[in-house]
Amino acid sequence: MESSKRVLYTNSPQLNSIHKFVSNYQSTTKYNMLSFFPVSLYLQFTRVANIYFLVIAILQSLPVVSPLNPFSAIAPLVFVLTISMTREGLEDYFRYKSDKEATSTPILIYRDGVFKSLTFKDVAIGDVLLVEKDSAFPCDLILLSSCTENGIAYIETSTLDGEKNLKPRQSLKPTSGLTPESNLNFEFRIECDDPNPKIYHFSGSIEIEKSSLFNRQK
């Protein structure tokens, strides 16, 4: 299936706000403080084994059905549920800590005419970023320029596909001469694919509309 397209602008939060893009904050947790108990309890009873033991516990609680003490069936079920919910709560807490660490990683973002040291969660659609050597990427990026003479950057994609060999990426020719000291207050119109699982394919175009640095090109 063909991916739909989206349009965004560099250095123009007003234009990008029309599309209501989501923030760059990363969250992989399943619960919060209020939803943990009801949601986790519900998920426990989506398992057939827990439903079976719950039915047995209910039946043993009826004197006309079973002469046994209902505690003998209820206690093991409560114990198993407590252990399972505690384990899920700890796993979710570790995911929360990992998310917080990732979103708090510093990154240089071009704001108000200078590069400011902010965090991954502060990155917005259309921001111009300065990614230093051996640094992680905070999001999907379009390579405008590189410190190498030929405008090529070498990236590692092991977090996406497990491959640690470096892959070359060529910067755009009209922007390959940009440096951190250049005037980066330009406005580019970018049309590209919506987010999709095709990590080896990207289709898009960039149009330089308002910039004194370049002639109008596409």
Residues 10/123, Cβ–Cβ less than 8 Å = no
pLDDT in tens, 179-217: 888 888 888 889 988 888 888 888 888 887 554 444 444
What does the pLDDT profile of the chain (218 residues) look like in tens digits? Answer: 455 788 999 988 888 888 888 889 888 999 988 999 999 999 999 989 888 888 888 887 777 776 777 677 788 888 989 999 999 999 999 999 999 998 999 999 999 889 999 999 999 999 999 999 888 889 888 899 998 888 899 998 888 888 888 889 988 888 888 888 888 888 888 998 888 888 888 888 888 755 444 444 43
Residue 3: per-residue pLDDT: 56
Q: Where are the domains of the chain?
A: 5-21+124-210, 25-122
- The confidence score (pLDDT) of residue 107 equals 94
What backbone phi and psi angles, to 5 degrees, belong to 8?
A: -145, 165
Residue 61 pLDDT: 77
Give pLDDT, residue 76.
83
How far apart are alpha carbons 206 and 9 in whole angstroms? 9
Nearest partner of 105 among 85, 121, 88, 125, judged by Cα = 121
CA distances (Å), origin 87, targets 18, 39, 171: 42, 14, 46
Q: Provide the pLDDT for residue 6.
A: 86
- Residue 2 pLDDT: 52
pLDDT given at position 14: 86
* Cβ-count burial 95-117 (b if 16+ within 10 Å, e if not): ebeebeebbeeebbbbeeeeeee
Q: How far apart are CA 192 and CA 7, in angstroms?
A: 7
